[in-house]
A and B are shown apart, each in its own frame.
Chain A
């Protein structure tokens, strides 16, 4: 049976909108307003200083600048804000979105073409939104013989694990979602979870090409996890801690890449392999195995995996910055004193009725803003270096890849460990060292 799409007419659209708006207004006025009135009757408004504090007055009080700033500040100290917005998901997703746009434009410039151009007025800046809308609106098709619960779970788990990885990254002094003493160990644990998701999704799709892709991803990730972990052991020896915040603070005078360039190179190559980026994009090698373990994903399931992989890209780049490039440490170029008088005293909202004491102080400390700018600059630099191989290298073969992982990178990682040991035992760095 064929369905002919109705012709689009502006009149129909306006009629549909006005009809809906009409009924919404009718329902709100007939039902909503009486409900509000009834509720308001049974609420005793507090009387403070001889004035009734009705909802409008409370709103007025909250939006007053003197009270608003501490309120915003207290909201920013909550866990919810940290997880959802600033050091957590929102910030990472913003950088990931920018990365996708920059990647496409950079690759286009490298390949003598234009790249996204029409979507959005300026240089196709809204292309990502258009792609996202397209993915959301697409039908999700699941293979008939797939193991459905596992197949559904895989993209969600992938994005969630990438989000968990993001939560461990400190971006500025005091700004991290999960500040745990065994931070680096938690990072290893999260990284170790990715191959499991990959193989679960590949196995549950019950299809040949995803299966081969999943097996390849498993080989690749597992064999590159070992040099990845080994390349970071040197830093743990030098700093004597696994806490990422403390590792960053230990680099106040010099970044660790000066002493451990070999470890940095090994870690960078392992990043490329863990991220499945060219030249190591074997699990998604399209000319061999269609799209690898992503073959059967459609619509927003694919979109979630892409979101997860770009979050992962940001997290790995940020981890490189945190461990080797000194995190937020950098020369001051932001004014050390606040520009304007924004310091407010502590405030007590609605004394008598609702007691909420909020500290005064700055919204962001100057140190935090300076550190954040350095952190973002360094992370963007590392991301650019991760992106460029896509335009320069072809794909490598699985046996050559495993050879690099097992024979070369592990040896180099051990050399790095020996360098770290030499630095510690000669008394140059470490507890009681010269530097």
Chain B
């Protein structure tokens, strides 16, 4: 079990100390140039096959998004704020748009709300497919890399038709969405989502029911319910540990309370459960999209006209949404200016990263990739 075999050294800062050379303990720098790291470094110490110390070292892709936001007005902030996680760009713009709408006191039309929900769910599928592909290749399953990347194109095509861009959509704006969806979108969306759902169920045959995968990821990196709450994890990590927490249910935004869907919760809290929750979320997303397409008003305006540089009052607002990785919040402080005085992004990736040393200490070296990537961690987003 984690944390029991070896005491954790909490005082050591990553990468700063000169350590004593030990015959038994070997320090490995997993990253930033390592096939299994992403844009980050994990300093691990191994004793034989066991990880005795783990130090995640993020910050390689820090871009100063929060500071940049202070120099741009509320409209020009849109394109650069989606950069931290371009595969989930609708969901990272969602809390920003909700917050600015609250600051400016704009009421969004019903049709725009439905379109936003559809775009956000499509984008969640795009992100999770990409995540799943990398989870597959981390486990040495190359078919599970190719299939999600291929099927992801279905969703990307839909978003392309909707927004005009394949990846960085910049689709959500304060006051609705940038443009209306094309005329024949509903039929195409329904067809592709149905096919996508069929394909998702085939993943179970090749991946989730695979005995080798189960033997490898079951009971590894177990995060108990109490620890998951105490460490402040969110999203799929929290729900895999048996906590029923989904912002779409707990604090419904836009039209989520009118839609029919459920939250997926598993009790095990191991890497297998953590890898299965996003897949179940995708199946749930397909349901949401179908439901939203049915209930959406067939016509109406989708965007409230704003002044070129809208000014908000002397107030502040915090809104959060459920992104592909978990609760994503934005705290916008306004001081009677066209620009935000301060914009703080609370990202789910960084919150899930905190669980990593806790989970990896005492695990085997072979468990590093599945445990690391099952935390649903996106390094670029965590660095902002």
A binding-site residues for B, Cβ under 8 Å = 107, 110-113, 208-209, 212, 278-279, 281-282, 285-290, 390-400
* Pair A394/B139 contact, Cβ less than 8 Å: yes
Q: Is the CB of B142 within 8 A of A391?
A: yes
B364 contacts A397, C-beta separation under 8 Å: yes
Report which of B140, B147, B367 forms a contact with A111, defined as CB distance below 8 A. B147
**B146 proximity list for chain A (CB < 8 A):** 111-113
Complex CA gap A393/B215 in Å reads: 12
Contacts of B207 in A (CB 8 A): 394
Decide yes or no: A399 and B369 within 8 Å by CB, A279-B212, A288-B36 being known contacts.
no
Q: Knowing A286-B35, A393-B210 are in contact, say whether A208-B142 is a contact too (CB < 8 A).
A: no
User: In the complex, which residues of chain B have a beta carbon less than 8 angstroms from the beta carbon of A392?
Assistant: 143, 206, 210
Q: Which residues of A contact B210 (CB under 8 A)?
A: 392-394
Q: Give the residue of B34, B206, B366 whose beta carbon is less than 8 angstroms from that of A397.
A: B366
Interface size range on B against A? 20 to 34
Q: B144 contacts which chain A residues (CB < 8 A)?
A: 394
**Residue contacts A-B, CB under 8 angstroms, 5 given:** A112-B146, A208-B28, A286-B36, A394-B141, A398-B366
Residues of A within 8 A of B367 (CB): 397
A290-B35 in contact (CB<8A): yes
- Nearest neighbor of A278 in chain B, beta-carbon distance: B140
Question: For residue A209, which residues in chain B have a CB less than 8 angstroms away from its CB?
Answer: 28
Tell me how far the C-beta of B129 lies from the nearest C-beta in chain A, rounded to whole angstroms: 14
**Residue B365 at the A interface, CB < 8 A?**
yes
Contact with A along B337-370 (1 / 0, CB 8 A): 0000000000000000000000000001111110
Residues of B within 8 A of A (CB): 26, 28, 34-36, 46, 49, 136-147, 150, 206-207, 210, 212-213, 215-216, 364-369
Q: Are B142 and A111 in contact (CB under 8 A)?
A: yes
Q: Which residue of A lies closest to B207 (CB)?
A: A394
Whole-angstrom CA separation of A47 from B212 in the bound complex: 78
Partner of B142, one of A107, A288, A290, A399: A107
Q: Is the interface of B mostly helix, strand, loop or mixed?
A: helix
B22 CB to nearest chain A CB (Å):
14
Residues of chain A within 8 A (CB-CB) of B369 are: 287-288
| Known interface pairs A111-B143, A208-B28, A394-B141; A288-B368 also in contact (CB < 8 Å) | yes
Cβ-defined contact, B143 with A287, below 8 A: no
A112 in contact with B49 given A287-B138, A287-B369 (CB within 8 Å): no
Nearest CB on A from B11, distance (A):
25
Q: Are B142 and A287 in touch, CB under 8 angstroms?
A: no
Nearest to B372 among chain A residues (CB) is A287
Give the residues in chain B near A278, CB-CB below 8 Å.
140
B198 to nearest A CB, angstroms? 14
- In the complex the two chains form, what is the Cα distance from A398 to B139 in whole Å? 13
Interchain CA distance A110-B137 in the complex, whole Å: 15
Minimum CB distance partner of B35 in chain A: A286
Task: Determine the chain B residues whose CB is within 8 A of the CB of A113 once the complex forms.
Answer: 146, 150
Closest 3 CB pairs of A and B: A395-B140, A287-B36, A111-B146
* A105–B369 alpha-carbon span in the complex (Å): 28
- Identify the closest chain B residue to A211 (Cβ): B26
Given contacts A286-B35, A399-B49, contact A391 B143 (CB under 8 A): yes
Bound-complex Cα distance A208 to B26 (A):
8
What residues on A are CB-neighbors of B216 within 8 Å?
A: 394-397, 400
CB within 8 A of A287: which of B49, B137, B206, B212?
Answer: B137
Closest CB of chain A to B41's CB: distance in Å? 14
CB distance from B145 to the nearest CB of A (A): 8
Q: Which residues of B contact A212 (CB under 8 A)?
A: 46, 365
How far is B137's CA from A286's CA once the two chains are assembled, in angstroms? 9
Known A111-B143, A112-B146; contact A394-B212, beta-carbon cutoff 8 A: yes
When distances are taken between beta carbons in the complex, the residues of chain A under 8 Å from B368 are: 287-288
Contact B49 A398 (CB under 8 A): yes
Question: Which residues in B have their C-beta under 8 angstroms from that of A112?
Answer: 146-147, 150
Residue of A nearest to B37 (CB): A287
- A394 & B150 in contact (Cβ 8 Å cutoff): no
Query: For residue A393, which residues in chain B have a CB less than 8 angstroms away from its CB?
Result: 141, 210, 212
**Cβ contact of A279, chosen from B35, B140, B143, B147, cutoff 8 A:** B140
Give chain B residues whose Cβ lies under 8 Å from the Cβ of A208: 26, 28
Contact A287 B213 (CB under 8 A): no
User: Are the C-beta atoms of B215 and A400 separated by less than 8 Å?
Assistant: yes
Contact A399 B364, beta carbon cutoff 8 Å: yes
Do A290 and B26 contact each other (CB < 8 Å), given the known contacts A111-B142, A212-B365, A285-B140? no
